[in-house]
Amino acid sequence: MKVWEEYESKGLTILALSDEASGTVEKHIETHGMTYPIGTGAKGKRAFGVSGIPSAFLIDHTGTIVWQGHPGNGGWEGMLDKALEDAERMSDQWNIGEHPEFLNKAAAMAEKGEMGKVWKESESLLKRFVEDPLKLGEVQNFQEKFGVRVNAQNDYIATLGKDGCYQEAADYIEARIMVYKGAPAADEWTAILKTWKKDAEIKSLMQLDEKRLDAMEQAFSGDSDKAKKSLRSLMQKAQGTAISAAMESAYNLVSGL
């Protein structure tokens, strides 16, 4: 598959699912030389609303389906570059690309995902080059790119909050704080969590969302019946709240397992 060959190294993952037996699928793989993973005996057609075969879905780094349809109809291929760029900005690890030698230390830290240390190093460089306009400009440009990555995290957090998924957002923020510890963003995220804990409405949504996440984990662990029962109850409790749609989506997904 040409798209797979071109985009695999850029981070694209392709997973094919078939409801046919493994023997039938294995013959198809050998005939067509497929190298991406293919699962057999799949039973999730209803969960994804599959009505025709083949059907394809493009899922972004947040787990959101951003395109669906027949894979041969195109459309999704033109979305790949932006989708992969967005995903890269959300990654802990950062390949800063070509850079001057004085940014080597920051680049090495970025490759390891030590974003807080990256920020501290850039601040140190600002002080060192305060009287060198060219190098100072390079560092400032670097910090702007750092800010783009932080903004990507903030956009995702805002989306989760808009959907009422505050526990999922809180879990995400706590993980970001560990990665960005030492950078201003980590302090800002810590302050957000403190604000949420004092907001009665958000606390209520967090409790509902925590139960939603527990039910989803339960379903994926194999007990979908118990998870559906929990989600039915949660859907009633969530009616009229910001998390109502997310709760319904969770129920529909679990019902298709």
Q: Answer yes or no: is pLDDT of 163 > 80.
A: yes
Mean pLDDT for the stretch of residues 198-202: 96
CATH assignment, 2-88: 3.40.30.10
Round to whole Å and give the CA distance between 213 and 207. 10
Confidence of residue 183 (pLDDT cuts 50, 70, 90): very high
> Which pTM value belongs to this model?
0.81
Cα angle vertex 62, ends 155, 50, to 5°?
A: 135
pLDDT at res. 61: 78
Q: What pLDDT band is residue 144 in, cutting at 50, 70 and 90?
A: very high
- Say what the pLDDT of residue 243 is: 97
Quick one: which of 80, 102, 89 has its CA closest to 156? 89
First to last CA, the chain: 29
Residue with tokens 């060192």: 128
- The contacts of residue 185 (CB under 8 Å, 6+ apart) are 150, 153, 176
Cβ atoms of 194 and 188 closer than 8 Å: no
The pLDDT assigned to 74 comes to 73
Distance CA 136, CA 124 (A): 11
Confidence class of residue 153 from pLDDT cuts 50, 70 and 90? very high
- Cβ–Cβ < 8 Å for 93, 67: no
Contact 246, 163 (CB under 8 A): yes
pLDDT of 42-67, one tens digit each?
Answer: 666 665 667 677 778 888 877 777 78
Q: What gap in Å lies between CA 156 and CA 19, rounded to an integer?
A: 34
CB 77 within 8 A of CB 12: no
Q: What digits encode the pLDDT tens for the residues 166-182?
A: 999 999 999 999 999 99
Centroid of chain to Cα 160: 11
Output the six-digit token pair for 186: 């980590």
Torsion of CA 127, 131, 132, 138, to 10 degrees: 40
Which range (27-36, 71-80, 118-127) has the least confidence?
27-36
Sequence ranges of the domains in the chain: 2-88, 91-198, 201-255
Mean pLDDT value of segment 194-212: 97
pLDDT band at 147 (very low <50, low <70, confident <90, very high): very high
Contacts 24+ apart (CB under 8 A), 218-224: 219/253, 219/254, 219/257, 220/257, 224/254, 224/255, 224/257
